[in-house]
Amino acid sequence: MKNSYDLVVIGGGPGGYEAAIRAAQLGLSVACIEKRVHKGEPALGGTCLNVGCIPSKALLDSSHRYEATKHELADHGITTGDVQIDIAKMLERKDAVVKGLTAGVAGLLKGNGIDWLQGWGTLLDGKGEQKQVKFAPLEGEETTITAKYVILAAGSVPIEIPVAKTDGEYIVDSTGALEFSEVPKRLGVIGAGVIGLELGSVWRRLGAEVVVYEAMPEFLAVADKEISKEAAKLLKKQGLDIRVDTKVTNAEVVNGEVVVTTDVKGETKTETFDKLIVCVGRRAYSEKLLAEGCGIELTERGLVAVDDQCKTNLDGVYAIGDLVRGPMLAHKAMEEGMMAAERIHGEKAQVNYDTIISVIYTHPEIAWVGLSEQAAIEKGYEVKTGSFSLAANGRALAQGEGVGLIKVVADAKTDRLLGMHAVAVGAGEIVHQGMIAMEFVSSIEDLQLMTFAHPTVSEAVHEAALSADGRAIHA
């Protein structure tokens, strides 16, 4: 550890560690301060690697394999014995995946000559040429280090609600829901957002009865309506009991059970669960990050205020990822990290916020990029759309995955592609085609004129584009 660096990054999540690595590649001396201790050991990788993207996907994969082995193999003529799930082993595997990746990030920092300072970082003063950062190690004396540049990358934490206070055992947040040591018989979930659908799916597949309470009248209002309607139908068929327009007014633990009281259009109802997950969104985490008088401006919602290039109000201080405006997604944080590092180095890096992909890793996945039909209309476009059902896609049917649809949204005047939306097997991969097409300002006609391999699920992208002009072949 030195007293002074070119760049100090506070936060070692996907945003922070990518920023640190890019800056080091560009020749800057870099320290990355990260205070996280995961399962007893200091850990890089932030929310995403430790308690977010990666462990949730490990459990989604295990639970999908279990469900598919149990219920789908017979159709293929495959006979299995009594299919069992060993939850402890499943969690062990998840932990091993996390450990491998977080150790990998530590190796990358080391390999790039970056000092990982294990402890808390606080911006004391960001106004002068040399920024002052307090470093309070996990053990030992705190010190002040100086840096020409600072990147704030402290991420986010779950929002807590007073009507359902988490206790770490019965009423838990997403982190607790990654650690259930047995399958709850009845699982309640507050919030039918991304976490509710993903973690609700994990435990439902493993045998829990899952009820998901959503306060809003509409399911998945952020998605294109055609997609959210289809997704709701498929998820309900799988057994996720999603209740929209339902407000949880109280949740308390009584005799080892969680008693949840709801208000459904004025009617009060009570239900009991073994466990309750609270996943009603996340908030920027800036406690201990900013000393009083450090000079950083926050927004009304407590985010660090930044411009399109992630510059804060103070010269030389950047903020990225969940701490700032925009979707709370790891890939968005990473791209902002790289942009901030390159901007510090004097380059003209940009993030295209119009093509940030959203993926919900249910089965089938729900994913999109760009504008939904409704958002495009609201923005004043004359819109044309095309969609194609996977029930008519040969590959999807051969895989036993012939459900869902792919949809394209375009500007009717110019034919320009504005968005691609899918609820389909592999939707998260498929919409990358939409992202690349949008980056290259493709038209619907471009997608119509390309040759898609047969038989692939991607052919449904081609057919959706053809259908936008009434030309789909298999519809």
The single residue among 63, 174, 312, 433 that binds ligand FAD, judged by CB under 6 A, is 174
- Between residue 197 and residue 256, which ones bind ligand FAD under the rule CB under 6 A? none
Could you tell which of ligand FAD, ligand NAI, none binds residue 121, using a CB distance below 5 to 8 A set by kind?
A: ligand FAD
Active site residue 345: no
Catalytic residue among 71, 331, 454, 462: 454
Nearer to ligand NAI, 193 or 419 (CB): 193
Q: Which residue of 9, 24, 53, 90 would you call a contact of ligand FAD, by CB under 6 A?
A: 53
- What residues contact residue 389 under an 8 Å CB cut-off, 6+ apart? 404, 405, 460, 475
Among 333, 338, 369, 457, binds ligand FAD (CB under 6 A): 333
String of contacts with ligand NAI for each residue 337-366, x by CB under 6 A: ----------------------xxx-----
**Given candidates 66, 203, 213, 388, which one binds ligand NAI under the rule CB under 6 A?**
213
Minimum CB–partner distance for residue 309 and ligand NAI (Å): 21
Q: What is the spatial distance between Cα 216 and Cα 231, in angstroms, rounded to a whole number?
A: 16
Q: Which of 318, 317, 323 is nearest to 288 (CA)?
A: 323
Q: How far is the CB of 431 from ligand NAI (least distance, A)?
A: 12
Query: Counting contacts by CB under 6 A, is residue 35 touching ligand FAD?
Result: yes
Letters for 121-150 (x = contact with ligand FAD by CB under 6 A, - = none) are: x-----------------------------
- Per-residue burial over 201-211, b if 16 or more Cβ lie within 10 Å, else e, is bbbbbbbbbbb
Angle 34-37-39 from CA coordinates, rounded to 5°:
150
The span of 210-218, 228-236, 281-289, 448-456 binding ligand FAD (CB under 6 A) equals: 281-289
Q: Report what 296 binds from ligand NAI, ligand FAD, none; CB cut-off 5-8 Å by kind.
A: none
Q: Which is nearer to ligand NAI, 247 or 343 (CB)?
A: 247
Nearest to ligand NAI by Cβ — which residue? 193
**CB neighbour list of residue 287: distance below 8 Å, 6 or more residues apart:** none
Kindly identify the residues of this chain, within the stretch 278-297, that bind ligand NAI according to CB under 6 A. 279-282
> According to CB under 6 A, which one of 7, 22, 28, 34 is a site residue for ligand FAD?
34
Tell which one of 5, 16, 190, 251 touches ligand FAD (CB under 6 A): 16
The residue range among 28-36, 239-247, 310-318, 369-377 that interacts with ligand FAD, by the rule CB under 6 A, is 28-36
Looking at residues 77 to 136 of the shown chain, list those that interact with ligand NAI (rule: CB under 6 A).
none
Binding window for ligand NAI (CB under 6 A); candidates: 17-25, 75-83, 191-199, 346-354: 191-199
Catalytic center residues: 454
Residues that bind ligand FAD (CB under 6 A): 10-16, 33-36, 46-48, 52-53, 56, 120-121, 153-156, 174, 195, 285, 288-289, 321-323, 328-331, 333
Residues that bind ligand NAI (CB under 6 A): 161, 190-196, 198, 213-216, 247-248, 279-282, 327-329, 359-361
